[in-house]
Amino acid sequence: MPASGIDHAFTARSNLGRAGDPTYAGALSFMRRRFTKNVAGADVVVWGVPFDGAVTNRPGARFGPQAIRRASAIFDNDPQYPFHMDLFEKLAVVDYGDCLIDNGNHQKTPGTIEREAKKLLRSGAFLLTLGGDHFITWPLLKAHAEKYGPLALVQFDAHQDTWFDDGKRIDHGSFVARAVRDGVIDPDRSIQIGIRTHAPEDFGIKIIYGHELEEMRASDIAYSIIERTGGRKTYITFDIDCLDPAFAPGTGTPVAGGPSSAKILSVLRQLTQLDMVGADVAEVAPPYDHADITAIAASTVAQHYVGLLAERKQRETA
């Protein structure tokens, strides 16, 4: 059936309901949600943090939020797989746009991200962030921990990101170590999935290595996550390089031997018991992508976050 309107991101009168744009046209907000700076009444706020000044290998993740939004257009109109429903029938989701970063002064970046994240969290909405390199998760964790207390961290990644720093470095490989040292996350309730490198410290965080994932069913991985977090309020961070480069070539530090997108999406689908209070997807670098493979995977990860939240709201309002 032909759409009755277009550019839903700008013409929508409500934060609820499907869009009708053709998948190949129209304004490219995340999943066609309304672009707005007014987040009053929103259940979920999606925003981008286009920063890649902390990378240690290939840059380009500053273009990640744009690419994820573009790839998410394919989710428009139909009931969302694998959730069997219109995610936006009851769940009010808006696209807040991007964080404005001073690329001439990176030392201001963490404070800028943290302040805006705190402002959005004060609205009562769930904050879903599109990165950007993985350094952005550090100020996001700080903002969420101020509201919820020390968090359980669920980290999908090829790297532990526990390298030492002095607390001042702008580095995407050390934010987890900093979060442990500053009491922002509880390492005894945190878990890393897909790790395929070694760092000097693990801080007691549970690790499921890449080769172990190959021997595990998705349901067993999900169970390990639920058991480890133990009902604690949880932040999920998804570095797209968790996936094998065959499924996510467009990233700054690809590592062979990772899981498929199908397997990890199956894991996410089974995290209905997780008390998720914030989430991000990071390290999408479109200059190294092919046919939007990586952007499609990342947008689907973000779509699964939204699906889990929609199911939670459905349970709460039943």
Which residues line the annotated binding site?
134, 157, 159, 161, 239, 241
The angle at the Cα of 240, spanning 9 to 167, to the nearest 5 degrees, equals 100
The residue type of 235 is Y
User: How far is 58 from 38, CA to CA, in rounded Å?
Assistant: 35
Token output for 183: 């009491």
**From the annotation, which residues make up the binding site for Mn(2+)?**
134, 157, 159, 161, 239, 241
φ, ψ of residue 177 to 5 degrees: the values are -60, -45
Q: Which amino acid is at 286?
A: P
Please state whether beta strands 93-98 and 234-239 pair in parallel, antiparallel, or not at all (unpaired): unpaired
135 touches 175 (CB < 8 A): yes
How far is residue 114 from each of residues 72, 223, 231, measured CA to CA in Å? Answer: 26, 31, 25
Q: Decide: 259 and 243 in contact? Cβ < 8 Å.
A: yes
Alpha-carbon dihedral sign for residues 282, 212, 182, 165: negative
3-state secondary structure of 84: coil
